[in-house]
C-alpha cells in the first residue's frame, strides 16, 4: 500500500482497489500540495473523519457528493451530514468499535479534544477519535487532534502499529515532548510521521526537535513525504 501525507490533517491511503482519505482539508489549507480536482479524479473508497472541526471536515461534503464514497465517522458527525447535508452513503461508528469494510478494518479510539462539529450554526457535538486502520498487510494509527493520554498505552496491548501519525504542534493539542513520550513509551510504532504543524503561525513547530527525540529508535518519515509500506 502507498501512503501520502497531503499536509495538515489530510492522509491518503492507497490500497489495491482505491484510496481511503482521512480528514481531507484542501480548500483553505495554505500548505496543501494537491488540489480538489486531482483528488476527485481518483477512485475514492471512503473518507474517515476523526472529529468535527473545520480543518478536518472541510472538503468532505464535496468529495462525497462527487464520488459517492462512503463516509465513516462517529454517530453524531454522521447525523450532521445526514440531516444538514443530505448525504446518504454513511457509516456511523463510535469509540471502541471496529468494522470490516472488506479490504480494511477501521477502529475508533478515544481522544481528548474539542467536541464541536462544523460551523457555528451547528448544534452537533461528538467525541473526537483516533483511528486505527488494519489491512491484510499493515496497521496504521492516526492520532490527529489529541493530547497525550494513557489510552495510548492500550494500543500496544491490542495492535502492533506499523505506522503512526502524531501531532507535534502546540496550543491546541499535544506537542513535541508529548509526541516523543507517545512514540517511545505508549504506542511504540515501527515508523512515525510528525503531522499537523506549520499550517499557520499558531501551530508552528520544528519537526527536527521531534526527530532528535526519537532518533536511532524509530524510523521517521519527514513531512511532505509518501511511503510504501
In angstroms, give the least distance from the CB of 173 to Mn ion: 8
**Is the sign of the CA dihedral 224, 62, 29, 127 positive or negative?**
negative
What x-and-dash track marks residues 40-79 binding Mn ion by CB under 5 A?
---------------x------------------------
Q: Residues in the site for Ni ion, rule: CB under 5 A?
A: 53, 145
**With binding defined as CB under 5 A, does residue 145 bind Mn ion?**
yes
Of the candidate spans 124-132, 142-150, 174-182, 203-211, the one that interacts with Mn ion by CB under 5 A turns out to be: 142-150
* Binding partner of residue 178 among Mn ion, Ni ion, none, CB cut-off 5 to 8 Å per kind: none
C-alpha cell at 114: 474539542
Strands in the chain per DSSP E: 2-7, 10-15, 18-22, 44-48, 70-74, 90-93, 98-100, 105-110, 129-134, 139-142, 163-167, 191-195, 219-220, 226-228
Strands in 128-176 per DSSP E: 129-134, 139-142, 163-167
In angstroms, give the least distance from the CB of 66 to Mn ion: 24
In angstroms, give the least distance from the CB of 103 to Mn ion: 28
Q: Which residues bind Mn ion (CB under 5 A)?
A: 55, 145
Amino acid at each position: 500500500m502507498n501512503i501520502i501525507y497531503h499536509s495538515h490533517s489530510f492522509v491518503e491511503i492507497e490500497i489495491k482497489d482505491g484510496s481511503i482519505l482521512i480528514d481531507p482539508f484542501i480548500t483553505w489549507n495554505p500548505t496543501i500540495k494537491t488540489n480538489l480536482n486531482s483528488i476527485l479524479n481518483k477512485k475514492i473508497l471512503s473518507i474517515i473523519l476523526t472529529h468535527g472541526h473545520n480543518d478536518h471536515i472541510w472538503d468532505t461534503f464535496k468529495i462525497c457528493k462527487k464520488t459517492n464514497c462512503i463516509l465513516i465517522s462517529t454517530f453524531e458527525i454522521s447525523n450532521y451530514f445526514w440531516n444538514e447535508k443530505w448525504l446518504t452513503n454513511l457509516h456511523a461508528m463510535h469509540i471502541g468499535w471496529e468494522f470490516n469494510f472488506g479490504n480494511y478494518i477501521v477502529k475508533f479510539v478515544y481522544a481528548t479534544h474539542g467536541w464541536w462539529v462544523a460551523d457555528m450554526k451547528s448544534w452537533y457535538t461528538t467525541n473526537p477519535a483516533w483511528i486505527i486502520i488494519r489491512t491484510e498487510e499493515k496497521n496504521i494509527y492516526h492520532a490527529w487532534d489529541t493530547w497525550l493520554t494513557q489510552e495510548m498505552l492500550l494500543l500496544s496491548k491490542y495492535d502492533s502499529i506499523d505506522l503512526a501519525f502524531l501531532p507535534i504542534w502546540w496550543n491546541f493539542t499535544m506537542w513535541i515532548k508529548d509526541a516523543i513520550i507517545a512514540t517511545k513509551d505508549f504506542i511504540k510504532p515501527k515508523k512515525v510521521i510528525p503531522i499537523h504543524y506549520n499550517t499557520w503561525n499558531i501551530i508552528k513547530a520544528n519537526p527536527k526537535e521531534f526527530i532528535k527525540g526519537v532518533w536511532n529508535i524509530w524510523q521517521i518519515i519527514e513531512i511532505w513525504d509518501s511511503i510504501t509500506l
